[in-house]
Structure 1
Amino acid sequence: MSNQVDVAVMIGSGVPKNLREAGQKACWVVLVNGEQRGTAYSSRLEAEECREAWLAQLGASPIAMPQAQRA
């Protein structure tokens, strides 16, 4: 079975209260086979690092993402 590991953005009321209180209007989460794993991240870079760790743990090969989408 192939595992799908993605990064998704959450905005507005989907952002956890502690991040909203700190002024965050968006956050990023890691999804493994469509289910959120771990915490919400305040930056896309942090979420991408977590995604890479999941891919390594699951033995999957990452799919290269265009640089423009890494912002």
Structure 2
Amino acid sequence: MSNRVDVAVMIGSGVPKGLRAAGQKACWVVLVNGEQRGTAFSSRLEAEECRTAWMAQLSATQCAMHVRAQRA
């Protein structure tokens, strides 16, 4: 099973109220298999760091599932 982890940008009314109130006109979100996970980030760098963490977590989960399948 393959998972897709992406960073997407949201602009305008897609930006959460709190970020808009702080003057943000764009934000970035992490999508796992097309679904938003977690919060909106005020910088792409933060979102990319979160994406990296998601990819590591999903990789570890897949590895553990593979090991269990081999033992069965």
Q: TM-score, normalised by structure 1?
A: 0.83
Corresponding residue for residue 68 of structure 1: none
For these two proteins, the number of residue pairs brought into alignment is 60
Report the secondary structure of 1:31's partner residue: strand
Shift, 1:13, TM fit = 0.1
Runs of at least 5 residues in structure 1 that lack an aligned partner in the other structure: 61-71
1:43-54 map, 5 Å: 43-54=43-54
Shift, 1:50, TM fit = 0.1
For residues 5-26 of structure 1, give each alpha carbon's deviation from its aligned partner in whole angstroms, at most 9, with x where no partner exists: 0000000000000000000000
Q: 2: distance between equivalents of 1:48 and 1:59?
A: 16
Corresponding residue for residue 64 of structure 2: none
Q: 2: distance between equivalents of 1:21 and 1:58?
A: 34
Shift, 1:2, TM fit = 0.2
Q: 2: distance between equivalents of 1:55 and 1:29?
A: 14
Letter in 1 for 2:38: G
Shift, 1:31, TM fit = 0.1
Q: TM-score, normalised by structure 2?
A: 0.82
1:7-18 map, 5 Å: 7-18=7-18
RMSD of aligned alpha carbons: 1.0
Letter in 2 for 1:53: A
Letter in 1 for 2:43: S
1:1-71 map, 5 Å: 1-59=1-59
